[in-house]
Amino acid sequence: GQQVMQIPQYQHVQEGEDFTTYCNSSTTLSNIQWYKQRPGGHPVFLIQLVKSGEVKKQKRLTFQFGEAKKNSSLHITATQTTDVGTYFCAVLVADSGGSNYKLTFGKGTLLTVNP
Amino acid sequence: DADVTQTPRNRITKTGKRIMLECSQTKGHDRMYWYRQDPGLGLRLIYYSFDVKDINKGEISDGYSVSRQAQAKFSLSLESAIPNQTALYFCATSDLQIGDPRGTDTQYFGPGTRLTVL
């Protein structure tokens, strides 16, 4: 089945430094979603990207979808302690019958921020 | 998300016991999912249901069973719990319609159940 590779698995930064996590696929994606899970919490939807080369921003977070729709990145500018958590990408894939679709998650990047 | 609730929130049990985790949602979504989360392994899909009459195995269904009692309820059972089933379990719902490839399948997660099997 379709797999998404997410890197890095862990990232520790000093507060104020930038952070980027990447998701890569060997096949063309129809779309990609990003979720954030705070420590002790549950994953929460952040954003969806659909178009080739799409860039979306949410305050200090910048999401990009590659031109070939095979990769995506989440970049955080000037990290804060509130950014701590695990960031997951997720892609929509067809099930074995090919008529229905479900989400498949990457393994996530755990971000820790040193104040 | 308060629209998706899970009970219990924490459970400690012994090897061999039967355990049921319950999930309820008020979002009116047809699709419901059970995931398991272990450190470094991300979210792994156990079972999913596209509607009340539809149940599908995920990537790690062995040792688990599910029941979709109603649109709003989806329960996960461990027939005979074993220690390597110790994990954090999440229920989720999504708004994707059956057969509609245009939807986003954005998922709304419950707060999770932390299960420990001794």
Among A100, A110, A112, the residue to mutate for chain B (most B Cβ within 10 A)? A100
Residue A83 has phi, psi (to 5 degrees) of -85, -10
pLDDT tens by residue, A67-103: 999 999 999 999 999 999 999 999 987 766 666 677 8
Residue labelled with tokens 């999504």: B94
What residues in A contact B56, CB-CB < 8 Å? 95
Per-residue pLDDT of chain B (118 residues; tens, 9 = 90+): 569 999 999 999 999 999 999 999 999 998 999 999 998 788 999 999 988 999 999 989 999 999 999 999 999 999 999 999 999 999 999 987 655 655 667 899 999 999 999 9
Residue A8 has phi, psi (to 5 degrees) of -80, 175
Contact A9 B94 (CB under 8 A): no
SS3 A83: helix
Q: How many CB pairs under 8 A join A and B?
A: 59
Indicate whether A34 pLDDT > 90. Answer: yes
Confidence at A51, pLDDT banded by 50, 70, 90 = very high
